[in-house]
Amino acid sequence: MKKILALLIIYAMTFIQVQAKSYEPVPSNVKLPPKYTQEYIDEISPEYSKVSNEQIFHVALDMLKGTSGDFSRKAIMGYNITQYPVKVQFKDLSEIDQSYSTFDAIGWKKKGKLYIFINPKHQYAPPGALAALLAHEALHQDEYNSLSEETYAWTMEATVWTEILKMYPESNNLDSSLVTRENILKQLLEKGNYTNKYIKKTVYANSGYKNLPLTSPGFENK
């Protein structure tokens, strides 16, 4: 009986170790808020394992709690039109289409499943900046897009980034190109007195959106 018990303990410990090793840890050169110890990250990882095996995304999603982007976090977890978790990963976007090579991220739908692909150049970005980007991309849940939808998504991203900085000021790593993007959006939001006034102008002037319709399902012109 003791031998069986010992074997069960060894098996359990081995299983835990295998589970822990199945996650890709946050890169060592990424500065995290004090809250995000490795122990804490390991505790939250099972919750987000169906979304990604990369713990930097687990941290980013956890950071969305208590922000305007919690809706997006829940959408990524499965509360979306497909009712499946959104798969999130770094991916060379030129493999999808060469025209996407310089994009920061894209939302993608394939065979009824949703994906968020993020440019690998951001793999060392602060998870707070990734959180703001995810809050944006999670709003794209179908094959349709529009100027109104992009305006809403960009405004959400700017709002979440503003909130993230209040909660986790160490996220403002100026060496990150993603942080540069987020700070520009934050400035546009502030310039418009926390309305979408200037973000909307920027979206409408974006050459990448020149063929988009004015509205799409769920997003009216405001």
Domain ranges across the chain: 26-209
Can you tell me the distance from the alpha carbon of 153 to that of 136, in angstroms, rounded to the nearest whole number?
5
At 21, the pLDDT band (50, 70, 90 cuts) reads low
Per-residue pLDDT for 11 more than 50? no
What's residue 17's pLDDT?
Answer: 46
Can you tell me the distance from the alpha carbon of 107 to that of 114, in angstroms, rounded to the nearest whole number?
7
Can you tell me the distance from the alpha carbon of 213 to that of 222, in angstroms, rounded to the nearest whole number?
14
Long-range contact list for 74-83, CB < 8 A, 24+ apart?
Answer: 75/138, 75/139, 75/141, 76/51, 76/116, 76/134, 76/138, 77/48, 77/51, 78/50, 80/114, 80/138, 80/141, 81/141, 81/142, 82/109, 82/112, 82/113, 82/114, 82/141
What's residue 47's pLDDT?
Answer: 97
What's residue 1's pLDDT?
Answer: 54
What's residue 4's pLDDT?
Answer: 53
The mean predicted confidence, pLDDT, of the chain is 91
What's residue 71's pLDDT?
Answer: 96
Can you tell me the distance from the alpha carbon of 89 to that of 118, in angstroms, rounded to the nearest whole number?
6
User: What are the strands, taking DSSP E only, across the chain?
Assistant: 87-90, 105-110, 113-118
What's residue 208's pLDDT?
Answer: 85
Q: Find the mean pLDDT for residues 91-96.
A: 95
| Ramachandran assignment for 138, one of left (phi > 0), alpha (psi -120 to 50 degrees), beta (any other) | alpha
pTM, two decimal places: 0.89
At 111, the pLDDT band (50, 70, 90 cuts) reads confident
**Which residue in the block uniquely carries the two structure tokens 């939808």?**
149
> Between the CA of residue 137 and those of 75, 99, 145, what are the distances in Å?
10, 18, 12
Is the CB of residue 203 less than 8 Å from the CB of residue 209? yes
Can you tell me the distance from the alpha carbon of 55 to that of 77, in angstroms, rounded to the nearest whole number?
15
DSSP state letter for 209: G
pLDDT digits (tens, 9 = 90+) for 125-163: 999 999 999 999 999 999 899 999 999 999 999 999 999
At 18, the pLDDT band (50, 70, 90 cuts) reads very low
